[in-house]
């Protein structure tokens, strides 16, 4: 279910999409795709807050895994790409993905 802005019968602007399985995305849309800044919450309660392009994580963002680990860094085409920090159990790992 989508609640938000539309343009030319397409999801466009800012809105919230809630899937039947419990996933949700709140953020910017362009031509029916997640595009711009947004927050995605998965069914396992993992979250991503950051930039999207063409329905994929792309740009800077923070992913919090269901087990509490956290990745803060750069993404490209839906995957970790470039500089980032992975934090787990109080320890940080800096690197290039």
Q: What is the pTM (predicted TM-score) of this model?
A: 0.94
Question: Residue for token digits 């680990």?
Answer: 69
Structure token digits, residue 66? 């269901």
Q: How far is CA 27 from CA 6, 66, 68, 72, in A?
A: 13, 21, 23, 19
Provide mean pLDDT across the span 41-65.
Answer: 98
Where do the domains of the chain lie? 2-96
pLDDT at 46 (0 to 100): 98
pLDDT at 83 (0 to 100): 98
- pLDDT tens digits, 7-50: 999 999 999 999 999 999 999 999 999 999 999 999 999 999 99
Question: What topology is assigned to 2-96 in CATH?
Answer: 2.20.110
């Amino acid at each position: 279910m989508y609640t938000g802005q539309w343009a030319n019968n397409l999801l466009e602007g800012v809105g919230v999409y809630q899937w039947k399985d419990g996933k949700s995305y709140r953020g910017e849309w362009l031509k029916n795709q997640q595009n711009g800044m947004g927050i995605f919450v998965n069914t396992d309660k993992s979250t991503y807050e950051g930039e999207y392009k063409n329905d994929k994580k792309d740009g800077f963002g923070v992913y919090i895994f269901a087990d509490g680990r956290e990745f803060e860094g750069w993404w490209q085409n839906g995957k970790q790409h470039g500089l980032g920090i992975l934090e787990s159990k109080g320890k940080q790992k800096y690197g290039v993905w």
